[in-house]
Amino acid sequence: MEELLERLLEECRPATGQGRVADYIPELAKGNPEALGVYVIGSEGKHSWAGDCRQKFTIQSVVKPILLLQALLDNGPDLVQKRVGVEATGKPFDAINAGERALDSGHINPMVNMGAIVMCTLIRGGSYEERFQRLLGLTRQLAGDNEIGVDEAVYQSEKSHGSKNRALAYLLKSNGLLEDSVEEVLDCYFRACSIQVDCRALAHIGAVLSNRGRLPVSNERVFPAPLARYVNAILMTCGMYDGSGEFAIRVGVPAKSGVAGGIMAVVPTRMGIGIYAPALDQKGNSLGGIQLLEQLSKALYLSIF
């Protein structure tokens, strides 16, 4: 496995040069566009890796499935689905998803910003500080790393350059989809996006989702199996935004991307994969990361289709 990962990494390295590091959050512009790392955790607990896999970066939208999971654990699927739908939007992650009709909860899903912002309001807790701490606790458990924390510089950068997300949140509020204070909810969302991870952490989260809610090796249950089905299904159809269809053809497994360059992929019953390659394509997905996953999927027959 290590040899395969090393070979694919070298093959895919040139692709990173075709992408661009996100700069709409100024702090993210510091990412090294040539970095490329991969980490795999198999269902029996074997770890394999190559490249820049211990480099730290912010989780960004890869936190969305964890926000969804926490909301599902706290409220159950019926209530969550009433508040945020499950259909692909076919639009970019930060699209203003309202046309002539009023914004409808069925027109957003938990993998786009509007849906993830609503998820913050569905986490139980007496304050937004407590809600965020519960989310961080779940992230640490899923990632198998108790040291995980927030990258303060990215958090401040997101908060002070978050006009688009503020617009999305106010639109949700004016359409009755968000009751709490916009600033408090967004603070939780910005901090969630700024949680610092590496490829190993993403692979571990993917391994728990692939293992239907159980930790690798110990088999300890973190969440019930039906919730894994809920989250994995939405990752398959919406996890790569308006690139989800093409990703389903090229790679064929549930996955979630983030604008810092991370991808978390779930190969049901087989493995979790964590990728880091900050140069992105036009849809905000890691360009080298997708190419690496495509090659890995071909080599190991990972596609579920």
The Cα 139–Cα 134 span in angstroms is 9
Nearer to ligand GLN, 61 or 244 (CB): 61
181 classed as catalytic: no
Nearer to ligand GLN, 69 or 117 (CB): 117
Nearer to ligand GLN, 69 or 302 (CB): 69
The Cα 261–Cα 21 span in angstroms is 8
Spatial neighbors of 193 by CB under 8 A, at least 6 apart, are 58, 59, 60, 61, 63, 154, 158, 258
Annotate each residue in 113-152 with x if it binds ligand GLN (CB under 6 A) or - if it does not, as one string: x---------------------------------------
Give how many residues touch ligand GLN by CB under 6 A: 11
Residues 106, 107, 111, 112: what is their CA dihedral angle, to the nearest 10 degrees? Answer: -140
21, 40, 48, 64: the active-site residue = 64
φ/ψ (deg, to 5) at 47: -105, 135
- Give the residue from 302, 304, 303, 296 showing the smallest Cα distance to 50: 296
Residue 195 burial by CB count (10 A; 0-12/13-18/19+): exposed, middle or buried? buried
189 classed as catalytic: yes
Cα radius of gyration (the chain): 18
- Give the residue from 61, 19, 59 showing the smallest Cα distance to 36: 19
Nearer to ligand GLN, 213 or 258 (CB): 258
The Cα 188–Cα 178 span in angstroms is 14
258 binds ligand GLN (CB under 6 A): yes
Q: Which of 97, 141, 157, 165 binds ligand GLN (CB under 6 A)?
A: 165
259 classed as catalytic: yes
Q: Which of 27, 52, 158, 242 binds ligand GLN (CB under 6 A)?
A: 158
273 binds ligand GLN (CB under 6 A): no
The DSSP code for 48 is E
61 classed as catalytic: yes
112, 154, 253, 259: the active-site residue = 259
Closest distance between ligand GLN and the C-beta of residue 234, in Å?
A: 15
The Cα 305–Cα 291 span in angstroms is 18
Q: Which of 259, 293, 296, 302 binds ligand GLN (CB under 6 A)?
A: 259
Annotate each residue in 69-108 with x if it binds ligand GLN (CB under 6 A) or - if it does not, as one string: ------------------------xx--------------
241 classed as catalytic: yes
Annotate each residue in 22-61 with x if it binds ligand GLN (CB under 6 A) or - if it does not, as one string: --------------------------------------xx
242 binds ligand GLN (CB under 6 A): no
CB atoms within 10 A of CB 289: 32
Q: Which of 193, 205, 207, 264 binds ligand GLN (CB under 6 A)?
A: 193
Helix 182-193 to helix 163-174 angle (10° resolution) is 130
Measured at CB, which residue is nearest to ligand GLN? Answer: 61
The Cα 166–Cα 36 span in angstroms is 32
Nearer to ligand GLN, 5 or 251 (CB): 251
Active site residues: 61, 64, 189, 241, 259
Q: Which residues bind ligand GLN (CB under 6 A)?
A: 60-61, 93-94, 113, 158, 165, 193, 258-259, 284
